[in-house]
Chain A
């Protein structure tokens, strides 16, 4: 637990000293405005809440991909990876703490879009099922964190990780149905989407703002958690093998 808290505290201090990790929090309100303008233009007031929720999911994913995914690479380039590995705390624990801090910051986007929606368009998110909404957001943050660990382990092995991360954002927004539900995508894509935790998150989050009851809430929530746990375990496994390989090859530090 101390390692987790050390990583959590470290990341908050880093972000405080260098707030560039908060960049997605600047874009979230802008995306909210764009999406709200689109649904207004289309005369679809029923989608206004969806337009506000999509940027929250996008922000979480963006933070995971662009910041959490590069944590190990950053430490390696700053010659911090070797001393971290040489301490009694496992890198995965520290990493989880750091990513949890980033996810917590990413969730601030929820408050942002609420404010922007109210101030600019006079619309808000109907809290029809607030507890379910909170649980869905937490499960989504957990699943995103699990995926980020896998990214961090893979990216440290690649030379052009930034190109990869730049090109991975929008396909996930599409496959994850963050704004347009997966049901509207071509049929052959839908099976792929069902393996992406974000598609379950987006659908469930949208369901929590509808007045109707949420069908199969717990099983859908469990699916998000399960996919997140699978990502987390896969990330741990990749990290274990990547670190073993780097220790063997002498690649924990850059020259």
Chain B
């Protein structure tokens, strides 16, 4: 049985439209495999290439080079075979007919997936209940809050009973409760055997619902692992928490090669962060030599890994 999603050396270059613009390499020889039934997170900052990859897999954008397949079907050559199998949810408030009701929107999209009219009506009703919009189903979308529109987007992605779902920032605008319900829904969809590619900025979301995550930055894949073991993959980013370390010792450790930061904690201890393979051993040796015995090493959280790998570049994209 083929993997649900196979991406092989996909590159996507956007040529400049005007002479003064620059050529943009949105994806640079990206390769990725997602087995059937997996929930896969795609993490990266703005401009990393997440949406570009989702669009290529959704058949709405062509890769410059490389191949991508969904359930064994090429997304460029076999769009007719791919499209009935996929559902897409793009973030943001657009993408719905605002002057129609939520129900009318879903019925339209259901018909485009060639469902019989009775099945469209039944599926629309079920999905509106599932995303918590049953009471507002006959209200115009323009009267919906941002979070409600996002939930309707999600329902639209599910109306075709897709085997593979591409969700691009699906919780944008949702309040925390709705976000939690969304994560529950994702779990249910996994239980139904669907494969989900979830492009997100939300580390909690990725850590909670994803079987594996891929970190992507500037069009290149940095790492692919389970959220919990990603810290092991990049073990060079270990951290050492100490108690009772004298200030001069911490000062000397801070000057060591491979130590990225030494910060005081609120309880009077200190956290030493390393960024090079082997630096942890040297830090521990120095601490023991200085008579510091209350030492604990740990791996960074997904968010810390993300920040370390992607870099704290603020608003720069």
A binding-site residues for B, Cβ under 8 Å: 2-3, 5-6, 9-10, 13-14, 17-18, 78-80, 82-89, 94, 247-250, 252-253
Set of chain B residues within 8 Å of A86, measured between Cβ atoms: 58-60, 83, 86, 88
Distance in Å from the Cβ of A216 to the closest Cβ of chain B?
42
Contact partner of A247 (CB less than 8 A), chosen from B60, B98, B112, B160, is: B60
- Contact assessment for A88 and B112 in the assembled complex, using a CB-CB cutoff below 8 Å: yes
Contact, CB under 8 Å: A89 / B97: no
Rounded to whole angstroms, the CA-CA distance of A18 and B111 in the bound complex is 22
Q: Which residues of A contact B14 (CB under 8 A)?
A: 249-250
Nearest neighbor of A79 in chain B, beta-carbon distance? B94
Q: A87, B100: Cβ atoms under 8 Å?
A: no
Beyond A79-B94, A87-B83, whether A10 also contacts B108 by CB under 8 A is: yes
**A94 contacts which chain B residues (CB < 8 A)?**
112
**Other CB < 8 Å A-B pairs besides A9-B108, A82-B60, A247-B61, 9 of them?**
A2-B114, A17-B99, A79-B94, A80-B96, A82-B88, A88-B83, A88-B112, A247-B62, A249-B15
B12, B61, B99, B109: residue with the most chain A Cβ atoms closer than 10 Å: B61
Does B111 lie within 8 Å of A5, measured CB to CB?
yes
For residue B73, CB closer than 8 A to chain A, the reply is no
8 contacts between A and B (CB under 8 A): A6-B112, A78-B95, A79-B94, A80-B94, A80-B96, A82-B88, A83-B156, A253-B60
Are A252 and B62 in contact (CB-based, < 8 A)?
no
Complex: A31 Cα to B17 Cα, angstroms: 44
Contact B100 A89 (CB under 8 A): no
Q: A10 with B58: in contact, given A87-B113, A88-B113 (CB under 8 Å)? A: no
Any chain A CB within 8 A of the CB of B306?
A: no
Chain B residue numbers with a CB within 8 Å of A9 are 108, 111
User: Complex Cα distance A161/B98, Å?
Assistant: 23
**Is B61 a contact partner of A252 (Cβ separation < 8 A)?**
yes
Task: Determine whether B180 belongs to the interface, using a CB cutoff of 8 Å to chain A.
Answer: no
Bound state CA distance, A86 and B159, in angstroms? 13
Instruction: Kindly state the separation between the CA atoms of A78 and B93 in the bound complex, as whole angstroms.
Output: 9
By the criterion CB–CB under 8 Å, are B58 and A82 in contact? yes
Q: Which residues of A contact B80 (CB under 8 A)?
A: 88
Q: Indicate the size class of the contact surface on chain B.
A: 20 to 34
User: Nearest CB to that of B51 among chain A residues?
Assistant: A253
What is the minimal beta-carbon distance from B165 to any residue of chain A, in angstroms?
12
Query: What is the minimal beta-carbon distance from A111 to any residue of chain B, in angstroms?
Result: 26
Q: Which of A85, A86, A249: most chain B CB closer than 10 A?
A: A86
Kindly report which residue of chain A lies nearest to residue B159, judged by CB atoms.
Answer: A87
* Nearest CB of chain A from residue B266's CB, rounded to whole Å: 43
B114 touching A88, Cβ below 8 Å: yes
A126–B25 Cα distance when bound, in Å, is 67
Which chain A positions have C-beta within 8 A of B114?
Answer: 2-3, 88-89
- Tell me the complex Cα distance, A12–B257, Å: 69
Q: How far is the CA of A253 from the CA of B168 in the complex (A)?
A: 14
B109 surroundings in chain A (CB, below 8 A) = 83, 87
Q: Which 5 residue pairs are nearest across A and B when measured between Cβ atoms?
A: A6-B111, A79-B94, A17-B99, A87-B112, A79-B95
Known: A6-B112, A13-B104. A85 touches B95 (CB 8 A): no
Inter-chain CA distance A83–B60, complex, in Å, is 8
Residues in A with CB closer than 8 Å to B140 are 17
Assembly CA distance A26 to B86 (angstroms) = 43
Q: Does B72 make an interface contact (CB < 8 A)?
A: no
Q: Is there contact, CB below 8 Å, between B97 and A14? A: yes
Point out the residues of chain A lying under 8 angstroms from B237, CB to CB. none
Contacts of A250 in B (CB 8 A): 12, 14, 52, 55, 61
Give bound CA distance, A248 to B86, whole Å: 20
Give the CA-CA distance A248 to B90 in the complex, in Å: 19
State whether the Cβ of B147 lies closer than 8 Å to any Cβ in chain A: no
Give the distance to chain A from B71, nearest Cβ to Cβ, in Å: 14
In the assembled complex, the Cα of A253 lies from the Cα of B55 at a distance in Å of 10
Known: A14-B97, A17-B99. Is A84-B112 also a contact (CB below 8 A)?
Answer: yes
Cβ–Cβ < 8 Å partners of A85 in chain B: 59-60
B23–chain A nearest beta-carbon distance, Å: 13
Chain A residues contacting B12 (CB-CB under 8 Å) are 250
| Contacting residues, chain A, for B61 (C-beta < 8 A) | 247, 250, 252
In the bound complex, CA of A10 to CA of B112 (Å): 11
Instruction: Report the bound CA distance from A13 to B103 in whole Å.
Output: 12
The residue among B104, B111, B156 with the most chain A CB atoms within 10 A of its own CB is: B111
The smallest C-beta distance from B81 to any residue of chain A, in angstroms, reads 9
Return chain A residues, CB-CB under 8 Å to B59.
85-86
Cβ contact of B95, chosen from A3, A80, A247, cutoff 8 A:
A80
Q: Contact flags (1/0) for B55-90 with A, using CB distance below 8 Å?
A: 100111110000000000000000010011010101
Interface membership of B179, Cβ < 8 A: no
Q: Kindly state the separation between the CA atoms of A85 and B75 in the bound complex, as whole angstroms.
A: 13
- Asked if residues B90 and A10 are in contact (CB atoms below 8 Å), the reply is no
Q: Is the CB of A248 within 8 A of B62?
A: yes
A2 to B84, CA, bound (A): 14
Q: Residue A18 contacts which of B15, B83, B90, B99 (CB distance < 8 angstroms)? A: B99
**Once the chains bind, are A14 and B99 in contact (CB under 8 Å)?**
yes
Distance between Cα atoms of A79 and B96 in the complex (Å):
8
